[in-house]
Structure 1
């Protein structure tokens, strides 16, 4: 089978770049190693001809893929477009072009490029606009997807309303998002196969009528292998208890929710249990928080480190990796759990993370709490018990090796594509 990975990000395996770059690189590399598969890689961007191309690190990523047998196709740069239709038309009769300006009825330049390469199928990883743009390309299509397009906007408006109060703009935005949801599901049903990296979102698509929506695991890169053990021993200090409280941009919807919960709910409980100076929560990631989120996090026991060039070292030096994002209404899958597992981190989270990533299990590969009080208890327990931290961290790494390596997930993707094309049996059901 001839499969083209159509991506909006350049592939690169470094941990200091956006997760999408890592995922694109790892999936493309692993798919090229699958028997009977010929893989092409097509980067599609939007802008002006002659704008800067890939940088040195991204070129190195492309070279590594080419060495692995991937055919690197010439980049397509689509001219800038704006959405069509008036607000009134979007409300009464929403259409794809009202929300996704790069959808062509015949697949446009992307379809022509794939036809010249004799592609049998395409896969779009983690890109809302490009998934829409490829929805009319006349080949077998696989969407490797994350959040439904309206979900983040809807949840952000709810959070903004709680932080800043009600406004008329809130009503208009809710109406617009409801129409976006309608059109988005129409587009996703054009994909013969839809694998979503959050189990609850895969169930959402199935309920909305997609016949081949299923849960598929996310991927990450295992940078250190077994060497994480020695590096952790070298970097961890006895005191104070260091807790990673966030990774990634502070203004992201999931991170805003998680940091709000951390400051308002978990931190007060933790301060009841631990004396000043005995613990430190490190917030990693660039950007700013609204005062309503930032203020509860102020204090000597919380450090905003900003962008951290060597995020691996920061995570290896921490005793606990805490993620409270899924304690909130915005429940999604995250690669940060996989990143933490590849470093042997002791993961502490809310039990609802299992709704999105069922492989995360309490007392097996993570410590999962029912509420903020329970989460604080688990942090204290982990801080006092190095053997527990080692056991949870080792089990997390084993879970990563078993379920989340790109080679494993690539096998599932190929199996689904071959089954849908009538050339193979379906043994893995997500």
Structure 2
């Protein structure tokens, strides 16, 4: 190609570089900035919000100027009506349509006109299910930078509810509804030209469902500390008792809830056999409440529920071990928490399933991975007594992040996919 591809990034939030605003806004800003720096691309940004959305902060409103300073054209700001339910339960069951599950799908035409006025070649939608559906029929190449397939989380959570509380008619109806959602979700995704998923196993799911242009694209995170993580960790890390961060994020989140049950039911008994009482402390960070049955599994003097933590970086750097067993079950998804931990030089310990979603997570290089609760308990005990091992894993994680997961590296991959797509189509 000799001319630049005009890439319109369509978001539902206001990108901004300041670390004081929402993390998603900062991450998307970094991605747009990095895309705008690619010589193959001419980048514009379109904001699409719903009527009644939370008011933007002063910092967020100023994000437009920061994007312009980064070389991004401002396409415009659109406000759509609040989504309303379309279709009744019987109609959704017997004759489902896309708009029954994605009511914003009906706005593709108006969004398409806005993008066409800017002469966009590509509509690029990062991390938004509803906005991906809303852009599904825009008259240009469509690229979804995607997370979990839409029915996946609901299905996992409903099955977990059944396991904890039993089957009910409402849960059975939910599972039937999720089957219809999956059909309409795949109908939306088949309207797209490129799907870059942040989990390798989910990219495979789309390929198995007939979408040849689905591929794995790494997630990104922001590195707040750079090289200074080393002296900061040396200053903060508290080796006795060994602190183990075992959760970050809302306790009610599906992956967190499954991980916390595995921790309490499988791993904690193995760890109590492996390590002496009082030699370690498991810290669970995050707002919300545990399910009562899971809370019963996570009781004892070796467990602390800290709730929401203002300075999560400091909490993670105080702990010699960062434990994540959210992927220990059949619900395997990509998590930015691994990237977050790597930017802080954490010694990451996880279930080996983590590499199904993120193949860059490698045992002995940037993480310690076990295939069972007993193996993971052994790894925790070994790492607890071996600072050299912890430092090596922490260094390996930081280097992996710097090499593969920065916004610039991910933008390079995205730009390459886009250019190859156009070269193939026009060749």
TM-score by length of 2: 0.95
SS in structure 2 at match of 1:421: helix
How far does residue 424 in structure 1 lie from its aligned partner after superposition?
9.6
Contact 2:247/2:323, CA 8 A, preserved across alignment: yes
SS in structure 1 at match of 2:423: coil
Quote the residue 1:89 is aligned against. 91
Question: 1:80 aligned to 76, 82, 92, which one?
Answer: 82
Quote the residue 2:55 is aligned against. 53
Contact 2:40/2:419, CA 8 A, preserved across alignment: no
How far does residue 308 in structure 1 lie from its aligned partner after superposition?
1.3
Match status 1:274 vs 2:275: yes
How far does residue 41 in structure 1 lie from its aligned partner after superposition?
1.7
Contact 1:248/1:284, CA 8 A, preserved across alignment: yes
Worse overlay, 51-60 or 143-152: 51-60
Question: 2:12 aligned to 8, 14, 17, which one?
Answer: 8
**Residues 300-359 of structure 1, C-alpha deviations (whole Å, 9 max, x = no match):** 222212221211111111101100000012100000000100111000000011110001
**Residues 74-132 of structure 1, C-alpha deviations (whole Å, 9 max, x = no match):** 3212111323222122112211011000112x723311221222211111111111111
Quote the residue 2:37 is aligned against. 33
Worse overlay, 385-394 or 257-266: 257-266
Q: Following superposition of structure 1 onto structure 2, how do residues 322-341 of structure 1 map, counting pairs within 5 Å?
A: 322-341=323-342
Q: 1:60/1:346 Cα in 2 relative to 1: closer, same or farther (>3 Å)?
A: farther
Quote the residue 2:414 is aligned against. 413
Q: 1:421/1:396 Cα in 2 relative to 1: closer, same or farther (>3 Å)?
A: same
Q: 1:253/1:52 Cα in 2 relative to 1: closer, same or farther (>3 Å)?
A: closer
Match status 1:20 vs 2:24: yes
Worse overlay, 83-92 or 63-72: 63-72
Contact 1:30/1:407, CA 8 A, preserved across alignment: yes
Partners of 1:258 and 1:317 lie apart in 2 by 22
Quote the residue 2:67 is aligned against. 65
Partners of 1:177 and 1:139 lie apart in 2 by 29
Quote the residue 1:44 is aligned against. 48
- Root-mean-square deviation (Å): 1.9
Q: 1:280/1:171 Cα in 2 relative to 1: closer, same or farther (>3 Å)?
A: same
Quote the residue 1:309 is aligned against. 310
Quote the residue 1:125 is aligned against. 126
Q: 1:33/1:407 Cα in 2 relative to 1: closer, same or farther (>3 Å)?
A: same
Aligned residues: 423
Q: Following superposition of structure 1 onto structure 2, how do residues 141-152 of structure 1 map, counting pairs within 5 Å?
A: 141-152=142-153
Contact 1:351/1:370, CA 8 A, preserved across alignment: yes
Worse overlay, 414-423 or 9-18: 9-18
**Residues 261-309 of structure 1, C-alpha deviations (whole Å, 9 max, x = no match):** 1111111111222223221111111111110111211222222122212
Partners of 2:146 and 2:24 lie apart in 1 by 11
Q: Following superposition of structure 1 onto structure 2, how do residues 246-325 of structure 1 map, counting pairs within 5 Å?
A: 246-325=247-326
Contact 2:286/2:309, CA 8 A, preserved across alignment: yes
Quote the residue 1:116 is aligned against. 117
TM-score by length of 1: 0.94
How far does residue 59 in structure 1 lie from its aligned partner after superposition?
3.5
- Stretches of structure 2 lacking an aligned partner (at least 5 in a row): none
Quote the residue 1:362 is aligned against. 363
Quote the residue 1:231 is aligned against. 232
Q: Following superposition of structure 1 onto structure 2, how do residues 151-166 of structure 1 map, counting pairs within 5 Å?
A: 151-166=152-167
Partners of 1:288 and 1:259 lie apart in 2 by 11
